[in-house]
Structure 1
Amino acid sequence: MTDTTTNAPADRARTTELSLVGRFLRDTEIDTRMLGMIGALLLIWVGLHILSGGLFLTPRNLWNLSVQSASVAIMATGMVLVIVTRNIDLSVGSVQGFIGMVMGVTQAEFLPRIIGLPLGDPWIWVIALCVGLAMGLVIGAFQGFLIAYLAIPAFIVTLGGLLVWRGAAWWVTSGRTVAPLDPTFQLMGGGPAGSIGATASWIIAVVACVAVVVMLLNGRRQRQRFKFPLRPVWAEVFLGTVTCGAILGAIWVANSYPWPIGIVRRYAEANGITIPEGGLFIAHGIAIPVLIAVAIGVIMTFITTRTRFGRYVFAIGGNPEAAELAGINTRWVTMKIFMIMGLLTAISAAISSARQNASTNVMGTLDELLVIAAAVIGGTSLAGGSGTVAGAMLGALLMQSLQSGMVLLGLDTPLQNIVVGLVLVVAVWLDTLYRKRV
């Protein structure tokens, strides 16, 4: 009895502590997997910052990291739909290289030499981009048709696509690099000219924060309307404050990275600006590829959570047989998923080639590994039926953080690939453990 009486207060204290955490997670409705991923990302950032001698968590590196993550994040949003339906796409890296090469040849050689459009014509980049997007849709539709209507496993179709489109990328120019690309097209790759500046960035931040507040208020009204349980007011305020704080913090970092001195000097001379003694500070602001990635993330989130098509995708992933018996045209939905994947890959190809100002047949090599890893690390289950677009984009940032950190540490490319492969295996293992516990 003495032992029981002595241990009771400690047990009640532990129970109270757990209940406080549990109540916090319940009231805020925060996804514990997402919270864990954010924690892991912050730990990785701090660790790489220490190991790199203070080079990682700098405005310059974080800005470059956001630009480098954009292309992988865009493809990862489509890979979520693919994996949720219990499929896989191993061809995205090769398709990216092939479409990038086609867009490069279109704007650098075909339109100026064959059609006769002068270099710098505003239609060159528009036509090249439209050609790339159309090709992405066609390739996605072709592979989706083989998978959905001919019942060929997605693994086999996309594995064949990995080889076919990589070979096709080389065949377009016999391995020759195509450069330079159209100046306007290059803006999609980022850089000083491919950024929107400090003022526009702050305006977007304010608009985004207002949108967050409106979404929270609208969500609360919808819950009241349908008599769903309401989050406590403090939880709504907490979520709004943290989200807006993260947005404003990201903009502050983007605006803390100035243009290089040489570009500032040329800009000042061209515009008749006198450079003061302390130098002229011109902020990059948000890069255009990052804006594109965020916009696609918002659109894909809306598609997956607010449309009938999105509900069909998760229904198929949860139970394909039941979905078909419920009247869902599973084959057409599957084909549309691969068409979306092809379109997103084309956008990613445009960003990657614009950033390099060149189209090469090796572009996108092993990107399929990064894209799949980003989706899985972001909580998309290989067993199908669950996954989020936001998680996949966060996973892309995590994967690119590892690569960027390893470059700063001077690690060789083979060792970088080993680390990426190990991270993918560990992510799948953790997903398996999580599903068993749930």
Structure 2
Amino acid sequence: MTDTPIPTPKPASSEQSLSPVTRFLRATEIDTRLVGMIGALALIWIGFHFYGAIVNGYGAFLTPRNLWNLSVQTSSIGIMATGMVLVIITRNIDLSVGAVLGLTAMIMGLVQVQLLPQVLGLGSPVIWMITIVVGIVCGGIIGSFHGWLIAYRGIPAFIVTLGGLLVWRGCAFLAAGGRTISPVDPTFALLGGGPYGAVGSTGSWIVGILACIGVLWMLRSGRKQRQLHDFRLRPLWAEAFLGILGCGMIIGAVLLVNAYPWPKGIVNAYAKANNLTVPPEGLFISHGFAIPVLILIVVGILMTILMTRTRFGRYVFAIGGNPEAAALAGINTRWMTMKIFTLMGMLAGLSGAVASARLNSATNALGVFDELYVIAAAVIGGTSLGGGLGTIYGAILGALVMQSLQTGMVLIGFDTAIQQIVVGSVLVMAVYLDNLYRRTSK
């Protein structure tokens, strides 16, 4: 008598056992942390808007004017946050970025107000270009010096950059004797936004259409690369959803910035200067995307490519994951550290250009406490203080979250002390959530 094996039931597919939401996120490959940040940002916006409506009788947060200004205010911090991601991924920190911003802004102010007009003549069209190059180069030199001390002299990044915070802030004061340098070159001032520092309605639609084409091209190119290397393909419906979502968000942003008109006084002055007739109901001229926002977008795209499509980016993550193993694998970790801090300094210089252009002056108050907001933006955006984990888009979203908190608290009348308490609490909570995420994802 032979034993007949009893057929065992086939286990249920692991995919079918998942919840619909999990299957959706897996099919579309949307980062759950990104969803969480967007959800938190939406709650902040809605909360401040309705709180203002209840207390003041009207909600001022979710308006084209406030959201446009919010995007401009985020630009300076967001630019530096993209560099801070690399610094923190490699298990370092940079406490000097605010002071570097202040010093480079002061140097650029002196160059374009006192130096270049004497050499090139007042109103020369190249003053603003030379000024920006000088600011970025000065920031890069300072960052290189920090990186050299950290990588080749073995001084901890915390100490080097803490000392840099004090040294460069003092240098900025001495450079101009404590004076405010203004006004900056008119073309340079456009980098800070404002009615003239924006691309207008037509320019915004051109930017939006190009961005939509870029989204569709990325989806198509990514699918071809997956097919070429026999990687798992996303379902067609997931590809279509991502395309519609991306293009929808871009078009929504274009409609939003085009809904914010120039102030009446500026419109009347513009019409008078250009011999235009203003109708009785007024002339509607859209701001469109502000130039500093476009600068932030370009920096974000370039930094994302650097981190995800180059050997440099792979080395950054390798050093953050395990510095000893990276060195044994042949990566020159010291040279990489120096390059990362150089890049951080250059981004601080670019941010100094945006910040001083927005104020139309270089002051000693520029960049004060910015280092805290930059670090908070990177951490809130998912960059792990333990190293080896972080995204550029997450840091930009983190900067938007930080600026939203500040702007919202100002609109509803919170004192500066309350604002500092909230920002500090959010930073601590972000680090706690990061530690919790790392433990649960293991």
Q: Could you list the structure 1 runs, at least 4 aligned residues long, displaced by more than 4 angstroms after superposition.
A: 15-18
After superposition, the C-alpha distances for 1:331-380 in whole angstroms (9 at most, x for unaligned) are 01110000000000000000000000010111000000100000000000
CA–CA distance in 2 between the matches of 1:126 and 1:105?
Answer: 14
Q: Which of 82, 88, 94 is matched with 2:93 structurally?
A: 88
- Give the partner amino acid of 1:331: R
- Give the partner amino acid of 1:103: M
CA–CA distance in 2 between the matches of 1:111 and 1:275?
Answer: 39
Give 3-state SS (helix, strand or coil) of 1:134's partner: helix
Out of 236-245 and 120-129, give the one that drifted further: 120-129
Q: Which residue of 1 aligns with 2:72?
A: 67
Q: Which residue of 2 aligns with 1:43?
A: 43
Give 3-state SS (helix, strand or coil) of 2:19's partner: helix
- Residue 324 of structure 2 corresponds to residue 321 of structure 1: yes
After superposition, where does 1:70-219 map in structure 2 within 5 Å? 70-113=75-118, 115=119, 117-219=120-222
- Give the partner amino acid of 2:29: E
Q: Taking structure 1 as the reference length, what is the TM-score of the superposition?
A: 0.95
After superposition, the C-alpha distances for 1:238-265 in whole angstroms (9 at most, x for unaligned) are 1111111111111111000000000100
CA–CA distance in 1 between the matches of 2:16 and 2:330?
Answer: 48
Q: Which of 404, 409, 423 is matched with 1:406 structurally?
A: 409
CA–CA distance in 2 between the matches of 1:48 and 1:259?
Answer: 25
Paired positions, count: 423
CA–CA distance in 2 between the matches of 1:269 and 1:135?
Answer: 41
CA–CA distance in 2 between the matches of 1:165 and 1:352?
Answer: 17
Deviation for aligned residue 1:312:
0.1
CA–CA distance in 2 between the matches of 1:278 and 1:243?
Answer: 36
Deviation for aligned residue 1:122:
1.2
- Residue 332 of structure 2 corresponds to residue 303 of structure 1: no
Instruction: Give the alignment's Cα RMSD to 1 decimal.
Output: 1.2
Q: Which of 376, 380, 402 is matched with 1:377 structurally?
A: 380
Q: Which residue of 2 aligns with 1:418?
A: 421
- Give the partner amino acid of 2:191: M
Deviation for aligned residue 1:429:
0.5
Q: Taking structure 2 as the reference length, what is the TM-score of the superposition?
A: 0.94
The share of aligned pairs that are identical, in percent, is 64
After superposition, where does 1:331-342 map in structure 2 within 5 Å? 331-342=334-345
CA–CA distance in 2 between the matches of 1:414 and 1:72?
Answer: 21
User: Which structure shows the bigger proportion of residues in helix conformation?
Assistant: 1
CA–CA distance in 1 between the matches of 2:255 and 2:25?
Answer: 29
CA–CA distance in 2 between the matches of 1:209 and 1:112?
Answer: 42
- Give the partner amino acid of 1:91: S
Deviation for aligned residue 1:111:
2.1
CA–CA distance in 2 between the matches of 1:379 and 1:130?
Answer: 31
- Give the partner amino acid of 1:376: V
Give 3-state SS (helix, strand or coil) of 2:276's partner: coil
After superposition, the C-alpha distances for 1:101-120 in whole angstroms (9 at most, x for unaligned) are 1100111112224x3x3221
- Give the partner amino acid of 2:421: I
Q: Which residue of 2 aligns with 1:56?
A: 61
CA–CA distance in 1 between the matches of 2:415 and 2:206?
Answer: 41
- Give the partner amino acid of 1:74: I
Q: Which of 282, 291, 296 is matched with 1:293 structurally?
A: 296
Cα–Cα, structure 1 residues 125 and 267, in superposed 2: closer, same or farther, change >3 Å? same
Consecutive unaligned residues of structure 1, counting only runs of 5 or more, are: 1-11
Out of 407-416 and 426-435, give the one that drifted further: 407-416
User: Do 2:200 and 2:258's aligned partners in 1 also have CA atoms closer than 8 Å?
Assistant: yes
CA–CA distance in 1 between the matches of 2:156 and 2:189?
Answer: 38
Deviation for aligned residue 1:123:
2.1
Out of 269-278 and 95-104, give the one that drifted further: 269-278
CA–CA distance in 2 between the matches of 1:429 and 1:230?
Answer: 35
Consecutive unaligned residues of structure 2, counting only runs of 5 or more, are: 1-11, 54-58
Out of 171-180 and 392-401, give the one that drifted further: 171-180
CA–CA distance in 1 between the matches of 2:17 and 2:331?
Answer: 46
Give 3-state SS (helix, strand or coil) of 1:379's partner: coil
Give 3-state SS (helix, strand or coil) of 2:213's partner: helix
Give 3-state SS (helix, strand or coil) of 1:423's partner: helix
Q: Which residue of 1 aligns with 2:235?
A: 232
User: Do 2:117 and 2:124's aligned partners in 1 also have CA atoms closer than 8 Å?
Assistant: no
After superposition, where does 1:330-369 map in structure 2 within 5 Å? 330-369=333-372
Give 3-state SS (helix, strand or coil) of 2:30's partner: coil
- Residue 291 of structure 2 corresponds to residue 281 of structure 1: no
After superposition, the C-alpha distances for 1:161-188 in whole angstroms (9 at most, x for unaligned) are 0100111111111211111110000000
- Give the partner amino acid of 1:57: L
Give 3-state SS (helix, strand or coil) of 2:163's partner: helix
- Give the partner amino acid of 2:360: N
Deviation for aligned residue 1:18:
5.1
- Residue 415 of structure 2 corresponds to residue 437 of structure 1: no
Deviation for aligned residue 1:52:
1.9
Out of 120-129 and 375-384, give the one that drifted further: 120-129
CA–CA distance in 2 between the matches of 1:353 and 1:92?
Answer: 15
After superposition, the C-alpha distances for 1:219-241 in whole angstroms (9 at most, x for unaligned) are 01111111101000110111111
Q: Which residue of 1 aligns with 2:263?
A: 260
- Give the partner amino acid of 1:134: V
Q: Which residue of 2 aligns with 1:5?
A: none
